[in-house]
Structure 1
């Protein structure tokens, strides 16, 4: 299909053409720049919303996936902690959207990590 896009994400793939209600793969890999992670989160939110998720449900789904990845991979958890500061600084400066900031807040909350 001409409009299919696949992005390699470590141990999984993000596919824009997935039908259904989940995103497969890892958000945070060791080789990713933190700005790439935030862009990937935003892309996932958009994809889920085009599948019919409300913005809040999309944020919850992506946050849950991030938290799950961090629970299963100590390096992903460490990068999520670094992402926390990056996201809050970038969010305060208007460089990234509130939705991405919300996802990171939710993910950290699911891990029991204070903001």
Structure 2
């Protein structure tokens, strides 16, 4: 099938016309983390920095206990960048979560 300059074909492992962007992955994963943080904020106060750290620690525990979610977070950050992910989370606890993600990336790079 050919439309204008857009040619969709499959050759070996290469798929021409495969224009999936990283932004939906980053946006979707960040939205999932936002939802998790909102759930935790119903249980834990977030007025002070130390309270935000508690929420972030609990979020990190839940992400680490869900290997699929952890992999999605790491992949979203790889494709979109840490700063973009932190901005997309748009939560004071996000900076602490980004710190954990940096650690996961360093461990992954060592393997």
Give the TM-score of the pair, scaled to structure 2: 0.49
Q: Which has the higher contact order (CA 8 A, sep 6+)?
A: 2
Structure with greater Cα Rg: 2
Give the TM-score of the pair, scaled to structure 1: 0.48
More helix by share: 2
